[in-house]
Structure 1
Amino acid sequence: MSASAPQSLSLGETGRQENLSSHRLAPVYWTGQVDGEDRLYREFVKAEDEGDPITTSLRYMLANKPFDPDYGSPWSAESSIGTSISDDNTITVDVGSGAFAADLSPEQAELAVQQLVYTATAAAWTSGLLAEGTAPSVRLLIDGRTDLRAFDHVDLGRPLVRDADLRAPVWIIDPQYGTSRAAGSITLTGVAEDFPGGLHWKVAEAEAPEQVVTEGTFGDDQTEGEGFSESLALPPGIYEVSVWGVDSTGATSGLDTKHFTISGT
């Protein structure tokens, strides 16, 4: 985990991260490792409607696994969950104690709580529930109480905000892992930090990653804010797409990969 002081995200920064889905799907964050550090990644999922978008995303996070096998979650399934949101963008989440069954280190516990914070605020943003002007925060309760510690480590007697240091430096939004597309052009999209040596991509055969089909570097006309986009025309096959940055030393950083299929029809 990063040893630097946590940086919170403003409402505007939250919006830039969460407005890059063209689908009416629920955002869910997962944990994953990149460059030897634990970080947070997001997938968009088709989740059963639980009556409000925040509960829908959080219940999916507690009860399911990510599509991408490189991602994971320390949370346990728990049926007891309630959410609400106030006019000042405070999201209250009340989760049953069964969700906190995992035995985690203090660092893992902080990341798990941030996974919930990111998921709840993403669901609020993408569904239009956040009011303008105030960055969202989360008030987390366990069985209705704030005097308990999440995973026996994280103090809940304070508002919880996104820690900007814990989100992954690069993640691919589309195509998602395991998806299948009809033959023709697809659009590679995602989110990335600014890298001194640029942001790069390649598509290779999934079963033989050394067999590169096409590759390139994102230019200014292919990025907007923190998002990236590239149109790809691929023949039928099973592919691995990779996106990574190059840091000031010339080293590869932030690699994210996805497997997907282009069908013959």
Structure 2
Amino acid sequence: MNDQPNNEFDELMRRALHSEADRIEPADGLHEIQARVSTARKPVNRRPWVLTAGAAVVGTAAAIGAFAVLNGENRQAGDSEVAGAPDTTASATGTPQSPKPSATLPSPSAYAPTDPGTPKVKPTQAGKLEPESSGAVPVYWLGATDGSKTGAGVKLYRTFAPFKGRPAYAALQLMTSGKSTDPDYSSPWVGARVSEVRQTGSLTTVDFKALPKTRLDPEVANLALQQLVYTVQGASGASVPVQLTLQGRPVAQVFGTDITQQPLGRAQALDVQALIWITAPENDAVLSTPFKVTGVAAVNEAQLNWRITSASNRRVVDEGTAMTQEAFKFSDYTFVVDKLPAGRYTLEVFEVSAEDGRQTSTDTKTLVVK
């Protein structure tokens, strides 16, 4: 037997072990994401919209029984009571700030984090599945922006839906079903199939079994991507970037639009959200007068208008003005309707353009007064 060391063999083993060690990457720290409680109320809007000229209209959806919208006292969510928080800013003119000088929205890459340390997702199942819970989750939809002369013609609106299970996964299941409780809200994600949602302390990964086949105008496609980001972040309560994967691999294109960089960050609320939401009363609410109307808006000079018309003959039965707490940024408003005869009505809250007096950013509710 030869007891002398085999220097050649030792050198080969040392090289092999060194090569294997170089391929090991430290895993991200796991972070349990707990859904937070929100008292925000759902907004609705009674207007149809078209996704893009020449493209098929995404069908409006009937109300869904299992995902009926809850009232503000019963819901649980990560979203702030004020629309768009975090990342809500405004320009000095009250118009949405955009990273580009044109009216078009930035490309998806413009929403990506600039931190060079942001993790890059590889085909893997890194991170943890969400903890299971129950309550209500925010779901974002696309709806028309009445009176707007520029932009995609659609903005984000939010509803709340009850769930039991994993919150972000449940919210995405509803979003991709297209079954909004308001038939004027639609989702271009119909046809997509979500496999799972995984989280680390710095990233949420949404893995798809299938992506939607709809092709959209690039501006609308960017809004649809933000619809997903807002829904995931609102439901999970984690304002971290969102990575899209298809069967474990990063998504390069969706809606016919290239995604040049991932993960996706959350765009500023003024760039993507509707500027006026009615948060109470809810659509089709049955109530008696006097009743209070509350909402969130970002309007010029902090002033907005409201009008109530009879559903039977469209006659104006009451109207007035209201003030938000701050101008040019999302803040609360409230006003009281003193007296109405029994009947069915349409409530409109809107802004009058300082440029030409046109009615813009209208949100509506159907109400029944007993």
Q: TM-score range by the shorter chain?
A: 0.7 to 0.9
TM-score normalised per structure 2: 0.56
8 Å contact kept, 2:137–2:162: yes
What SS does structure 2 have at the residue aligned with 1:217? strand
* Distance in 1 of aligned mates of 2:213 and 2:199: 26
Q: Tell me: CA distance 1:246–1:157, structure 2 relative to 1, closer, same or farther (3 Å).
A: same
Q: How far did 1:250 drift?
A: 4.7
What SS does structure 2 have at the residue aligned with 1:136? coil
Q: Which residue of 2 aligns with 1:21?
A: none
After superposition, the C-alpha distances for 1:206-240 in whole angstroms (9 at most, x for unaligned) are 2333x222222113569995222223344432111
Q: How far did 1:184 drift?
A: 4.1
Aligned letter for 1:106? P
Matched, 1:206 2:311: yes
What SS does structure 2 have at the residue aligned with 1:68? coil
What SS does structure 2 have at the residue aligned with 1:208? coil
Rg larger in 1 or in 2?
Answer: 2
8 Å contact kept, 1:147–1:156: no
Q: Which residue of 2 aligns with 1:15?
A: none
Q: Tell me: CA distance 1:91–1:230, structure 2 relative to 1, closer, same or farther (3 Å).
A: farther
Q: Tell me: CA distance 1:249–1:77, structure 2 relative to 1, closer, same or farther (3 Å).
A: same
Runs of 5+ in structure 1 lacking a partner? 9-23
Q: Which residue of 2 aligns with 1:110?
A: 222
Q: Tell me: CA distance 1:105–1:59, structure 2 relative to 1, closer, same or farther (3 Å).
A: same
8 Å contact kept, 1:91–1:136: yes
Give the counterpart of 1:33 among 144, 149, 163. Answer: 144
8 Å contact kept, 1:197–1:245: no
After superposition, the C-alpha distances for 1:99-121 in whole angstroms (9 at most, x for unaligned) are 41213232232221111111112
Q: Tell me: CA distance 1:225–1:108, structure 2 relative to 1, closer, same or farther (3 Å).
A: closer
Q: Which residue of 1 aligns with 2:212?
A: 100
8 Å contact kept, 1:222–1:230: no
8 Å contact kept, 1:27–1:42: no
Q: Which residue of 2 aligns with 1:153?
A: 257
Q: Which residue of 1 aligns with 2:335?
A: 230
8 Å contact kept, 2:292–2:334: yes
Matched, 1:180 2:285: yes
After superposition, the C-alpha distances for 1:26-54 in whole angstroms (9 at most, x for unaligned) are 211111221254333323233442x2221
Aligned letter for 1:58? L
Q: Which residue of 1 aligns with 2:240?
A: 136
Q: Which residue of 1 aligns with 2:320?
A: 216
* Distance in 1 of aligned mates of 2:204 and 2:342: 45
* Distance in 2 of aligned mates of 1:39 and 1:118: 15
Aligned letter for 1:56? A
What SS does structure 2 have at the residue aligned with 1:96? strand
Q: How far did 1:59 drift?
A: 0.9
Q: Tell me: CA distance 1:217–1:107, structure 2 relative to 1, closer, same or farther (3 Å).
A: same
Runs of 5+ in structure 2 lacking a partner? 1-101, 112-134
8 Å contact kept, 1:41–1:171: no
Aligned-residue RMSD, C-alpha: 3.1
8 Å contact kept, 1:203–1:215: yes
Q: Which residue of 1 aligns with 2:234?
A: 122
8 Å contact kept, 1:236–1:261: yes
8 Å contact kept, 2:229–2:242: yes
* Distance in 1 of aligned mates of 2:230 and 2:178: 17
What SS does structure 2 have at the residue aligned with 1:218? strand
Q: Which residue of 1 aligns with 2:361?
A: 254
8 Å contact kept, 2:191–2:213: no
8 Å contact kept, 1:33–1:39: yes
After superposition, the C-alpha distances for 1:132-158 in whole angstroms (9 at most, x for unaligned) are xxx532112222221431223131641
8 Å contact kept, 1:30–1:115: yes
Q: Which residue of 2 aligns with 1:44?
A: 159
Q: How far did 1:195 drift?
A: 1.2
Q: How far did 1:172 drift?
A: 2.0
* Distance in 2 of aligned mates of 1:54 and 1:95: 13
* Distance in 2 of aligned mates of 1:104 and 1:28: 21
Q: Which residue of 2 aligns with 1:61?
A: 175
8 Å contact kept, 2:137–2:163: no
